[in-house]
Chain A
Amino acid sequence: MKGSVMSVLVVLALVAQDRVACGLEDKSYDYTKYHTMDEISAWMSQMERENPDVASSMIYGRTYENRNITLLKIGFTGATPKKAVWMDCGIHAREWIAPAFCQHFVKEILGSYQTDPKVNMLFKNLDFYITPVLNMDGYIYSWKDNTTRLWRKSRSPGTGNCTCFGTDLNRNFYANWGMVGISRNCCSEIYNGPTPLSETEAQAVTDFLGAHQNQLLCYLTIHSYGQLILVPYGHPNISAPNYNELMEVGLAAANAIKAVHGKSYKVGTSPDVLYANSGSSRDFARLIGIPYSFTFELRDEGDYGFLLPEDQIQPTCEEAYQGAMSIINYIHDKNFRGSAITVTATLWTTLVASWISSANVF
């Protein structure tokens, strides 16, 4: 009797310890709901605390309303600066599914790097720089009440005689600024700002990308809606030198997305599949030499648009994760060829070893 009680207690203790080790307390974060900026900031601190070996935060700029623009840097620490992947979400305030995706992405990689050899290899060779909400001022404003939900731009006040607020951050970058797909009317949703980089948020990204130019292999910027993967450039007459490769990689990502829940994502330059535009962050990244630069426009295709129902957060994030990973793995394998072979060899060795050891039992 005593022995069985003891063994039950031991089992319970082990289970409890296991749950604590996995971070599964009663208040686990709900990735299937939209979160306020405060919740997201708290979550970022939690990710840092729970994964001190691989995650750290960096403040790299300030918003107009003086908030700290923060990213999570994720990967194994290395002696020399590693190659890196950049991801930003929430340049446009009303595209709530985008920050939801950044959080999902972080959760996935932090949850799998210890068990998935491919992700483990990514952590070894790459750093991920992930900004869950870039346009914090706009995002917070879109949470204010029902009338502000569809806000898009930054929250800087208009200059001169302009009585309207905000500049479209994704028209404000130093990339063919002002040439096409913009409005000079400061009340327009695609107002590109009084001058390039007038917005501190765009300046922050520009500074970071510039400082890490030689490390960055990949620039991903997440938006909604439309179900598109966009390659540079936004100007109809300018082609990226690696356009063919970018299209191949983009189409492979769209296939990976479709395999998850059957959703079709169209791939092409913005002037082909969406509309011409200039001053985008994607274009700027490509212009300064980051070879693989993509915009993701997530679900849906116009039924709910920006107001994507919460029950679609999980499937949208799942498919976009496969799309992003398809791109990241391609880039990784291209740059770290030997590693791919090592991973495969390790897998095979492990399999053979376990077969031999199980064979020896008999």
Chain B
Amino acid sequence: MQSVIRTHLESVSSHSCYATELSFINSSTRRRSPPEWIMKTFCSVWLLLSLVELRPALPVSQETPLACRGPADPALQQPETPEEMDTTGDLEPTHYPARRAATVALHYLNTRHGSPYRVFGLQQVHKASAEDVAAGGRKYSLDFSVTTSPSGSAGPALRCSAEVLFPRTEQHTPPDVQLNCEALQQLNSTAEDEAFYQKYITPDSAVSAQYLPDSYGNMSEDMQPFWRLARVAASFIMLRESSENTEFNMAQVASITQQESSEKQLMLDYVVLLHDLPSQEIIQWKLLASWSPDSGVRVLQMEWQPRCPHATKPPN
């Protein structure tokens, strides 16, 4: 009990009350002079009043587990203390507002031009600015460079400009992206894409795998194009779910199952795990994607999947 009072005193009272009460606790047998007695009464009253107001920190939420809840509304999964987004005008290119907007532009770029042998990544933001728009929302203007995987930083960087509009609506609305990259039209389907397509469009092809990459970050060379295809397909979801308060990357492919090819498209069932940086959540999506060198990647079905790892009971 004494230690509880002491802890409470340390957190609530001023130095003088604390000192007085502490000396009282430490030497309760000492006789007190009148002024001290008055001080002690005052402090005791103050202590009582503050105890009434004191709560055990902030209340703990007792809702159903976060990742098990209803539709994946990113707003639900954000920190409860939203960041102040009052930066308008020129933005610092290395700071997160510019980077998040650029990431959205990258998701868009990948949905349009991604393939098993071409996934775009952000190399650097050169310039960025933001302004509020009349209809409600914020528009980011970006000047940035992208690299392509698999060659990565070894390959050429493409210069891009984009406008990313984040609407401000009651319910989440996906951002709108206008994008322009140099030499994009010249990017044709690569020879590797063609070879990959020919290899797996055969009727008896039935690729399936789990956990790409594995826990050690490793992945066979054969599976890498499937992993890149998953990143492109996941970009459709990441684009749709993005806001100024999110920053998505694909954390892992939980599973891939090739379906029967349809209309000359490779058909792939994926379960992907997305990582959102601000909330640090891992969000699971099941999707059905199609791809051919001519049609590009399309997502035909997508479904958010509840994931309740936090609620697992410990092993006995």
Contacts and interface: CB of A to CB of B under 8 A. Distances in A.
A247 to B, nearest CB: 12
B275 A305 contact: yes
B124 interface: yes
A272 B83 CA distance: 11
A168 B79 CA distance: 13
Instruction: Say whether chain B's binding surface is mostly helix, strand, loop, or mixed.
Output: loop
Contacts of B66: 164, 183, 185, 187-188
A121 interface: no
B203 interface: no
Interface in A156-196: 157, 159-166, 168, 177-190, 194-196
B65 interface: yes
Contacts of B200: none
Contact of B279 (A146, A188, A196, A271): A188
Contacts of B211: 146, 149
Contact of A275 (B59, B63, B216, B277): B277
B251 A306 contact: yes
B225 interface: no
Interface in B192-232: 210-211, 213-219
Given A187-B66, A195-B56, A276 B83 contact: yes
Nearest to B249: A302
A303 B212 CA distance: 12
A294 interface: no
A303 B121 contact: yes
B158 interface: no
A275 B251 contact: no
Chain B, interface size category, equals: 35 or more
B282 A268 contact: no
B277 A274 contact: yes
B260 interface: no
B280 A189 contact: yes
A52 B176 CA distance: 62
A186 B60 contact: yes
A262 interface: yes
B257 to A, nearest CB: 16
Interface string B153-192: 1000000000000000000000000000000000000000
Interface stretch (A75-83, A127-135, A308-316, A349-357): A308-316
A154 to B, nearest CB: 12
Given A182-B80, A184-B58, 11 more contacts: A148-B309, A159-B60, A165-B314, A184-B60, A187-B65, A187-B67, A189-B279, A272-B96, A304-B217, A309-B213, A309-B218
Interface of B: 56-63, 65-68, 77, 79-81, 83-84, 92, 94-96, 121-122, 124, 149, 153, 210-211, 213-219, 249-252, 273, 275, 277-282, 309-312, 314
Interface of A: 33-34, 143, 146-152, 155, 157, 159-166, 168, 177-190, 194-196, 226, 236, 262, 264, 266-268, 271-276, 301-310, 312
